């Protein structure tokens, strides 16, 4: 596999993962009550804990995407 192919793969992975991240954030930010209501049928927890879990998950996912996909993409773009 060439470096250019790897760079393209990392670029598309970054775009897809950032789309998932945006979708998750939008659901929690704008339809949080609805999501809480759906999850409330399966799990019993206060809404504050539910929000903390989701925002922590969003933070972890964002950090992982940056470290595993975006930074290597930038590095491969720079050395090209």
pTM (2 decimals)?
Answer: 0.85
21 and 57 in contact (C-beta within 8 Å)?
no
Spell out the per-residue pLDDT of the chain, length 80, in tens.
899 999 999 999 999 999 999 999 999 999 989 999 998 889 888 999 999 999 999 999 999 999 999 999 999 999 97
The rounded distance, in Å, linking the Cα atoms of 40 and 72 is: 39
Domain that holds residue 35: 3-79
Domain count, the chain: 1
SS3 state of residue 42: coil
Packed helices 47-65 and 3-40: angle between N→C axes, nearest 10 degrees: 180
Burial of 69 (0-12, 13-18, 19+ CB in 10 A): buried
């Amino acid at each position: 596999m060439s470096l250019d192919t790897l760079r393209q793969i990392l670029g598309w992975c970054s775009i897809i993962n950032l789309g998932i991240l945006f979708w998750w954030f939008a659901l929690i930010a704008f339809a949080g009550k609805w999501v809480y209501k759906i999850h409330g049928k399966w799990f019993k927890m206060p809404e504050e804990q539910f929000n903390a879990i989701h925002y922590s998950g969003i933070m972890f996912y964002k950090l992982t995407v940056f470290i595993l996909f975006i930074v290597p993409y930038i590095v491969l773009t720079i050395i090209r």
